[in-house]
A and B are shown apart, each in its own frame.
Chain A
Amino acid sequence: MQLINQSEIQKRIDRLKDQELYIHLELTMGAYAAHLDSSKHSASTFITNAVIQYSHGSISGEGPYRIGLKMSQGWVYSEGLTHYEESETDRLIMAGHDSQGKLIVSLQLSREPF
């Protein structure tokens, strides 16, 4: 994974618009958050291989980045993205890693199921 290059991500978002895509969207504190620190409230959520289509999407912020994808009936939103996979040219693979390198958020789009 490489640090996000904003203009490159924007190009890839534009390339994937107006077509049916499979999405993986995830936010996670990890299953051990409350075990390691009882003041924490563990929460995680993910959805994988739901089908979406957006007409307009963009990346904003100065890193970590935010992404919003506008669909005909709603939005996809993700904040905290830091890394992307440069070698994946057909799919958009993005994630946010915290200061310990752990994945905390991920947003992935693909024409084929994950």
Chain B
Amino acid sequence: MHEEMKNSVERHILVVLPHPDDEAFGVAGTLAKHIQNGTQVTYACLTLGEMGRNMGIPPFANRVTLPEIRKKELEASCEAIGIQDLRMLGFHDKMIEFEDQDLLDSQIDALLKELNPSLVVTFYPGYSVHPDHDATGAAVIRTVERLPKAERPPVHCVAFARNTEQEIGKPNVIIDVKDFLKPKMASIQAHKSQFQAAELVGSKELNDEEIQARFGTEHFWIYPFK
């Protein structure tokens, strides 16, 4: 069953993702749509993506300058989407799965306590390809699961592993974001050092129809807490 967002006016959404640009492709349109409805959004971005391989074409960043460049890109992306509250948690890119779980969980728990979000958005652990994505989702799920049942906000997960639908079925929440492609594309383009990557943008300019087909809907799996 698909849950459209007709009746779901969210009070406060907490988004927890590990890398600047993780918000751009999967959730930017959904967030822009909620923000237009008056929702507060807090985005906790765990790292600065400082181990990223894309440095611009030709390379204008290097390993030393990349974190500062990506921080600015992240701020520009959030501004494009309308996100009111950005928290950069300062973890090291690529290392989330090795990080002290108590430290990770305590920071997420502090955000849950402070914000009391009506919805949490993160990656689906095990179905999100990048080890940082899976580890971030796992930390969020662990932390939310520790709350008493009545206090747990629903968690909507992004997933894109090849075996996702085969193993956990179709997404339960499909958001039409065609009216929010302007902020979404601006969010993607804010990540200039990353945006030129061939696998993200393909080799040719997309026309409006192709942009709508490729970026016009966003999909989420509601995490099934026991």
Contact = CB atoms under 8 A, between A and B. Distances in A.
Interface residues of B, number: 25
B53 interface: yes
Interface in B119-137: 129-132
A35 B133 CA distance: 14
Contacts, number: 68
B185 interface: no
A8 to B, nearest CB: 16
A83 B60 CA distance: 11
| A26, A31, A83, A104: most-surrounded residue (chain B CB, <10 A) | A31
A79 B58 CA distance: 20
A1 B199 contact: no
Contacts of A35: 129, 161-162
B129 A83 contact: no
Return the 8 tightest CB-CB contacts between A and B, nearest first: A101-B57, A102-B53, A1-B59, A103-B53, A31-B130, A35-B129, A30-B53, A106-B63
Contact of B64 (A44, A93, A101): A93
21 contacts: A1-B59, A1-B61, A24-B63, A32-B130, A36-B199, A44-B94, A46-B51, A83-B62, A85-B62, A93-B63, A97-B59, A100-B57, A100-B197, A101-B54, A101-B59, A102-B55, A102-B197, A103-B54, A106-B63, A114-B63, A114-B64
A31 B129 contact: yes
Size bracket, chain A contacts: 20 to 34
B199 A32 contact: yes
A108 interface: yes
A78 interface: no
Given A46-B51, A108-B63, 19 more contacts: A1-B55, A24-B63, A26-B63, A28-B51, A31-B94, A32-B129, A83-B62, A88-B64, A93-B64, A97-B55, A100-B57, A100-B197, A101-B54, A101-B55, A101-B58, A101-B196, A102-B54, A103-B59, A106-B62
